[in-house]
Amino acid sequence: MTPDEIKKLARLARLKITDEEIEKYTDINAILQLVKEIMQEKDTSTVEPLCHPLELEQRLRPDIVTESNQRDYLQERASLANYSLYLVPQVIPPNTKNK
């Protein structure tokens, strides 16, 4: 990955990475190259991927209410909340005109 590709990846992951910091992340290339080489030694064309060790079926529960409303209690953990709302920077700019 080039520095620009790393920056793009960081943006996808919602991580701010400055130009000075890019250097720190270039070893990702070496790690990816190494794991790919080792894994590709094996022909796996007939192997099914395994995503979970136990391969159990998802358990279902009856569709009934089990939890009570704890909104205010849980919102105590937010840095900025008011009127039972989480507050964030304005998302829709004011005076939006059709251009």
Q: Is residue 88 near other proteins by the rule CB under 8 A?
A: yes
CA dihedral 14, 10, 32, 55 (to 10 degrees): 10
35 part of the interface to other proteins, by CB under 8 A: yes
80 by Cβ neighbours in 10 Å (0-12 / 13-18 / 19+) ranks as exposed
With CB under 8 A as the contact rule, the residue among 4, 19, 20, 47 that binds other proteins is 47
Is residue 17 within 8 Å of residue 10, measured between CB atoms?
A: yes
Does 1 engage in binding with other proteins (CB under 8 A)?
yes
Give the angle subtended at the CA of 73 by the CAs of 71 and 79, to the nearest 5°: 90
Q: Which of 4, 20, 39, 71 binds other proteins (CB under 8 A)?
A: 39
Positions touching other proteins (CB under 8 A) are 1, 6, 9-17, 24-25, 27-28, 30-32, 34-36, 38-42, 44, 47-54, 56, 58-59, 61, 70, 73-74, 76-80, 86, 88-91
